[in-house]
Amino acid sequence: ISVLDVTHTHPDQWERIGGNVRMLFERIVIGKPYEGNEELYRAHSPLHVLERHILNAASSRAARLARGLLDGPDVPPLMIVHGTLDTLVSVEHVRYFVDRATAGLRDTPVCYVELPYTHHAFELLYGPRTAYTVDAACRFMCVVHDQYMHRRLQEHAVDRKLQSNYGSHDRSS
């Protein structure tokens, strides 16, 4: 995912990346100028989307717990890979995003990989760094899938136990 904040939450972001990126967002990505379309930009901002997920997760988690249901994941797993020499998105901005994600999404696996001496879009040219990153992403997905399957097996075991204890009794007699 891209964690570039396009909403002026971090005002230095636009200044640091320059007018060309802003023009790219305004003309191609979003298709409208920032001024007068702040809400549209917020809807496309990963940081604001994350904040909405955190709020929704908290309210839906509370609703599930109030109904006696088990807590479950609210958003998909996140793996964020970032280079320390990225001049488009600052390391500090990404670290802030990761901190918010790990603090606010306690049921969602969050993996942050910070690659030293690495620039933005490093993966466009295939090399050892890209190969290791792809391998790490595959391993992350395997771990997440294993955790999911383990949860499903546990839920299935609980369902079967409940069925055997409270199974379908014939109440017509």
What band does 9 get if pLDDT is binned at 50, 70 and 90? low
For 27-43, write each residue's pLDDT tens digit: 888 899 888 988 888 88
In order, the DSSP letters of 127-169 are SHHHHHHHHHHHHHHHHHHHHHHHHHHHHHHHHHHHHHHH---
- Amino acid of residue 79: M
d(CA 42, CA 5): 9
The answer to whether 146 and 109 are in contact (CB under 8 A) is: no
What band does 89 get if pLDDT is binned at 50, 70 and 90? confident
Average pLDDT score, the chain: 79
Indicate the helix (H) or strand (E) that contains 15. helix 12-17
Residue 82 per-residue DSSP state: E
147 pLDDT above the threshold of 80: yes
What band does 72 get if pLDDT is binned at 50, 70 and 90? very low
67 pLDDT above the threshold of 60: no
26 pLDDT above the threshold of 80: yes
What is the per-residue pLDDT for 140?
96
22 pLDDT above the threshold of 50: yes
What is the per-residue pLDDT for 173?
47
